[in-house]
Amino acid sequence: MKYSGILRIGFKLLVNDKAKFSALLIGITFAVFLMMQMTALFAGILNRASSTVTNVGAAMWIMDPAVNTATNAIPMPDYLLDAVRSMDGVDYAVPIFIGGGLVKLDDATYQTVNVVGLDDDSLFGRPEIEQGRIQDIYADNSFLVVNDAEFSKLENPKIGTSFELNDHRGTIVGIARVASNGLNGVPTLYTTYNRAIEYIPSMRFTISYVLVKPKNAAAVAAIKQQVAKFGYVALTKDEFNGRISDYYTYKTGIGTNILMMTVISFIVGLSISGQTFYTFILENQEKFGALKAIGAKGRDLIYMILFMATFTALTGYGLGVGLVAVMISIARSWLPNYAAMITFWNLGLAFGMVLLIAGISSYIGIRKVLTIEPFDIFRG
């Protein structure tokens, strides 16, 4: 390799100065750790916020245009369900109820819950059963409870456990699990649609959403147009998840706060690495002057600086990502409802910001190195 010799020299210069090299690694690792931790937490929040859409699994959701999140449904009239079922391109359509209730436990304390009412005929969107039988949901006062991080808030109920829900008697007939836990720290109960609207006080209209399966992908656009004529909107699963993400990102303080913390982390890493790298160049300027004196060109020194900054940045990136992964694993083992998760986009964001830190640090070092004159070094 043409520049292998000069890069080897740069590597030895870098790692032999253990104090400076350690300071550079710590600064970048700490910055990556903060950036990854903030963005991983945000990714976890968005994932939990879309848990209802993920768990139900419907291809299309019909809702009031003002709906921002799945748990804040605006009731719709019954005639809309009949109208949707008669639309061209609709394979089938079912109602679903999503609302909140208040459960009275055996010790006389109260616990808020989310109640999901499934279509009585199809039970579309039902969770996976761990204990019990799904058919038992048709028995009087029957509910399924989701075994997730909030399960203990209902005093770890078993099959046959009774409770009061809004002054109505309820009985656990099954324990279920879902793909994604909820965001708000509230246990979830499943029952039939008619029982849900009977137990949960509501307005004149009771349908939270109409779940639709289109006959094919080409029918989606036509269904949206037909639904729009009734003053409602039809969204695919991905579009609904996108709407929920946009709500938490732009219409709450969560997105702004996470962005600010990520920017602060970037500034911290940049300031530490930039200052330390500049100090490293100053303390080794006689070595760079000697390299110039024996024939190293400015281009050779630029490649050396770029290599040193990139090597340090990528090493710090790897350490930071590893540290975040370990911390999230430990936190999840102690806190089952801990939401942070590592995704490709926050890995890519942190990687891009680390490369930016390396680029700015390199620019600072290159400007200083190119001004070094061998004559001044040896004269001193």
- pLDDT tens-digit series, residues 188-208: 999 999 999 999 988 889 999
Q: Is 8 a residue whose pLDDT tops 90?
A: no
- pLDDT tens-digit series, residues 127-174: 999 999 999 999 999 999 999 888 989 988 999 999 999 889 999 999
Q: How far, in Å, CA of 201 to CA of 191, rounded? A: 15
Cα radius of gyration rounded to whole Å, the chain: 29
Secondary structure letter of residue 127 according to DSSP: P
Q: What is the pLDDT of residue 373?
A: 67
Q: How far, in Å, CA of 302 to CA of 307, rounded? A: 9
**Are the C-beta atoms of residues 309 and 358 closer than 8 Å to each other?**
yes
Q: How far, in Å, CA of 49 to CA of 5, rounded? A: 53
Q: What is the pLDDT of residue 201?
A: 83
Domain limits, the chain: 4-48+253-379, 77-231
Q: How far, in Å, CA of 161 to CA of 109, rounded? A: 15
- pLDDT tens-digit series, residues 309-354: 888 888 889 999 999 999 999 988 888 778 888 889 889 988 888 8
∠ Cα 218 219 220 (to 5°):
95
- pLDDT tens-digit series, residues 202-259: 888 999 999 999 999 999 999 999 999 999 999 999 999 999 999 988 888 788 888 8
Percentage of residues in the chain with pLDDT exceeding 90? 44
Q: Is 379 a residue whose pLDDT tops 60?
A: no
Q: What is the pLDDT of residue 374?
A: 62
The model carries a pTM of 0.80
Q: Per the structure block, which two tokens stand in for 13?
A: 């210069």
Q: What is the pLDDT of residue 376?
A: 56
* Helix ranges, 99-252 (H): 193-199, 219-228, 237-250
